[in-house]
């Protein structure tokens, strides 16, 4: 009796192994198709991040160029003030996005692109802070405008 039950158990196990082996051969965990779609998703994410970084770098350059405009009237200064507020808002949104990528960064996935993205966010902050200094804060410093006048006579 005991021998029969052993045989049954061996047969069942054999059937299980046989079925699993067959299925695994047909559909392995990391088949080519799945790996490709995983890699495609990483590439899509990389290119999305690069696109965001490029857009941001372009905006940063444009903000920097505004500091070369002369004699802006109040209407222009008000627009600049609005631009600074919008840039601050954009920077805080982007920092949240950057923080949400922490799990990828820690695993070293898309590391360089995330670093470039963070650099461009930092440059945005610097660009709007400089814009604010140039048009609103520095001209208010005692002797700042007078120094410019004196330098033009040197």
| Smallest distance from another protein to CB 119, Å | 4
Specify the residue, 75 or 140, whose C-beta has the smaller distance to another protein.
Answer: 140
Smallest distance from the beta carbon of 21 to another protein, in angstroms? 53
Q: Which is nearer to another protein, 33 or 74 (CB)?
A: 74
53, 113 in Cβ contact below 8 A?
A: yes
The closest of 127, 97, 89, 129 to 113, measured between CA atoms, is 97
Q: By C-beta, is 35 or 138 nearer to another protein?
A: 138
Q: What share of the chain is helix, strand, coil (3-state, %, to 5)?
A: 85, 0, 15
Task: Give the integer Cα–Cα distance in Å for 46 and 40.
Answer: 10
- 44 or 61: whose CB is closer to another protein? 61
What is the DSSP secondary structure assignment for residue 72, as one 8-state letter? -
User: Rounded to the nearest whole angstrom, what is the least distance from the CB of residue 82 to another protein in the complex?
Assistant: 19
Considering the complex, state which of residue 14 and residue 69 has its C-beta at the smaller distance from another protein.
69
List, in order, residues 6 or more apart from 84 with CB less than 8 Å away.
128, 131, 132
| Least CB distance to another protein at residue 131 (A) | 8
List interacting residues with another protein (CB under 8 A).
64, 67-68, 70-71, 119-120, 122-123, 126-127, 129-130, 133-134, 137-139, 141, 143-144, 147-148, 150-152, 154
CB of 127 to another protein, least distance (A): 8
Q: Are 56 and 127 in contact (CB under 8 A)?
A: no
């Amino acid at each position: 009796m005991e021998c029969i039950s052993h045989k049954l158990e061996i047969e069942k196990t054999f059937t299980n192994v046989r079925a699993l082996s067959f299925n695994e051969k047909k559909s392995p965990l990391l088949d080519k198709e799945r790996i490709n779609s995983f890699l495609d998703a990483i590439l899509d994410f990389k290119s999305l991040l690069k696109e965001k970084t490029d857009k941001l770098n372009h905006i940063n350059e444009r903000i920097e160029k505004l500091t070369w405009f002369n004699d802006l009237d109040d209407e222009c200064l008000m627009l600049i003030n609005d631009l600074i507020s919008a840039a601050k808002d954009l920077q805080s949104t982007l920092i949240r996005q950057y923080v949400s990528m922490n799990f990828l960064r820690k695993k070293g996935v898309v590391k360089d692109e995330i670093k470039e993205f963070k650099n461009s966010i930092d440059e945005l902050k610097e660009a709007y802070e400089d814009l604010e200094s140039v048009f609103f804060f520095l001209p208010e410093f005692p002797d700042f405008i007078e120094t410019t006048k004196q330098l033009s006579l040197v």
